[in-house]
Structure 1
Amino acid sequence: MATKRKPLRRRQVGGEAEYQAWHETFECGSDGFHDLDEFGVFDPCGSIMPIAEKAAAKATFRAATEDAWKRFGDRFMAEWKPTHVRQTPWAFLELGAP
């Protein structure tokens, strides 16, 4: 008898899904839709937490963003199209060229 396939519990790190999850953060600097939660990255900007933990959480998110920018930044900039709202993506302004 054939066995039923189990769905992946976590998405593939480094794949297309992770790139799409980082897209919003690269564009505006925050993960408003919590797309990154599946990859274990939590944006402290929109969450309620003790003030004492906020600085450490922001530093962790910033470090994860810098790492993702190194991996996906070239691709993001190749696909980037300026809009009337944002001429340059947040990640390029804050983190520099990938």
Structure 2
Amino acid sequence: MEIVVDNFKPKITRPFKRKNEYWVKLIDQSGEYVMKFKSPLEAEDAIYGMLDDLQVYGGKVKLKLKEGNVIEDIEVIELYKPSAKELLDEYFTD
């Protein structure tokens, strides 16, 4: 099953071991999803690599899911990354 989530800005848990795999939960307003990895190093790489920008900025993603909301593939369609000017304007107006 494939779904498109418009404003995907997940909170990501630390990797935990389950059934000889390392799982990471992505919790968003649209639901709770699981990514599975073979080693804790792969999980950490995903969290601080690919998923880091989504945690901070959010974006539009296409998720390919298996049963139980397990993510098989994640495709970032658009990243909502503001420009430096927008960040400065927001910082100085608050």
* TM-score, normalising length: structure 1: 0.31
Q: What TM-score comes out, normalization by structure 2 length?
A: 0.32
Which is richer in helix?
Answer: 1
Structure number with higher strand proportion: 2
